Chain A
Amino acid sequence: GAVVSQHPSWVICKSGTSVKIECRSLDFQATTMFWYRQFPKQSLMLMATSNEGSKATYEQGVEKDKFLINHASLTLSTLTVTSAHPEDSSFYICSAFSGGEYQETQYFGPGTRLLVL
């Protein structure tokens, strides 16, 4: 299957600082990437859809000024959590479309655990 990486795998930061998370498709080009958030023992909640070369589409309730998404190339999308607060602590996971048998298949990265103190 297609490989998606994320960096960092975990990060601890102080309240008020910004944190950038990278998502890379390693062996394929991804015109569309997705950012999810997952709280403990809960399902994946879609935050935004990232399209290469254009603005991200955010889900209702997700603050676009707080969660900045940049999809600068066909293999890289970044999520920046600005002015992070303890309630932003969560597991952030990206995914990307790959060709595959079904064009809609999403392959997920390993996730980034964010802890805001």
Chain B
Amino acid sequence: DAGVTQSPTHLIKTRGQQVTLRCSPKSGHDTVSWYQQALGQGPQFIFQYYEEEERQRGNFPDRFSGHQFPNYSSELNVNALLLGDSALYLCASSGTPTEAFFGQGTRLTVV
């Protein structure tokens, strides 16, 4: 049974570009959350998707947007990339309110 899978694992983008990160949740999980983990920091909550709707959002600008598909997979989009967007982006999936599983993350470098 596959866990949470994220793609790509690494990517490099230029400032001002747009990026799309992808997440496939653990089998049976219907909720996907996205986090940003800057170097030396703990993960910061970006937003959560459930039933294809954004259910909660953290303190991130509108440049960060997302989507959830009928198969529960999810995308994170970031527009107008800034150098400060360089981070590890984590996806977590859950099927109940009491447990979540994290993927390995996507390392985004903005140059």
A-B complex is real = no
